Amino acid sequence: MDIGLIGLGKMGGNMRERLRRAGHAVVGYDRNPDVSDVASLEELVEKLPSPKVVWVMVPAGDPTRETVEALSDLLGAGDVVVDGGNSRWTDDLIHAELLEKKQIGYVDCGVSGGVWGLENGYALMYGGSAEDVAKVQPAFVALKPEATDLGDFGAVHAGKVGAGHFSKMVHNGIEYAIMQSYAEGWELLEKVDLVDNVTEVFRSWREGTVIRSWLLDLLVAALDETPNLEGIAGYADDSGEGRWTVEAGIENAVATPAITAALFARFVSRQDDSPAMKAVAAMRNQFGGHAMKTEPPAGGDVAPD
């Protein structure tokens, strides 16, 4: 298929490459001319055959809203916009209503996989009408993980518009809680003068235990790089989905104590250097390339937010 892709950062750039490896024609646009295939959104749209499919991978909030509004003036009836960023699901309803006035379809897609998605595939959770989803389906197939002997997983039509980002929001809330548990366990094992090699204990858990996971694999990888997580500040940002998950729990009277505690722990980390938060920061860097707060080098600045 032919597809336009707006935003060629860590995620978008790798997604363009994975789509091209699957044989799809991708026209990419980014404000950075060094990575962009075209000079403008107008040129991107002109290069696509109809019905046009344009996938947006820019930061949530104003950048996404501005991009969707611009596309509403450039696309026509039967075309489809996909928001693959980390937008809040309530924004999807606004975007879909705006585009519907011009008979342009809208699909929201939560994407998980971080910097590893190029090789491993991306987990995709998408919402929208069956008609609109069908126009994007070849891209979903190319981006998701390949089927294995265990089954064909990694992509789901979660429901109507908003369902994709709502599902991704809850996914990230769960991620917060799992990461916090690993981090607290690491700190406790390090604190007690009993275990000789904490990294090897975590490594042993990668097979045969009920707590094995990819996040555990990534924590071990981080500990292999820096066994004591030296140079990493005990500070962890939150990207928004954790807060939104807690707010949704409150709005729907669903208790989320583990997710809430993990979110609050990140807030606390910004007030005091936390050993557990060093582990959380290291895991976030491993799967998403998220910046870590580090001590400044001689004559230099600290790592950016």
For the annotated catalytic residues, the residue numbers are 168, 175
Q: Within a 10 A sphere around the Cβ of 299, how many other Cβ atoms?
A: 5
Structure tokens, 15: 């997604």
**Amino acid letter at 86?**
N
Could you give phi then psi for residue 303, rounded to 5 degrees? -60, 140
Select from 124, 156, 152 the least CA-distant residue to 11.
Answer: 124
Q: CA of 151: how far to CAs of 147, 155, 214, in Å?
A: 6, 12, 18
DSSP secondary structure code for residue 114 in this structure: G
H or E segment to which residue 225 belongs? helix 214-225
- The three-point CA angle 163-58-42 to 5° equals 110
Select from 278, 277, 259 the least CA-distant residue to 268.
Answer: 277
Q: Longest Cα pair distance anywhere in the chain, in angstroms?
A: 67
Select from 209, 232, 249, 231 the least CA-distant residue to 284.
Answer: 232
Per-position DSSP letters for 36-100, written without gaps between them: -SSSSHHHHHHHSPSSPEEEE-S-TTHHHHHHHHHHHHH--TT-EEEE-S---HHHHHHHHHHHH
- The sign of the torsion formed by the CA atoms of 66, 78, 33, 117 equals positive
Q: How far apart are CA 220 and CA 259, in angstroms?
A: 23
HEC sequence for 249-262: HHHCCCCCHHHHHH
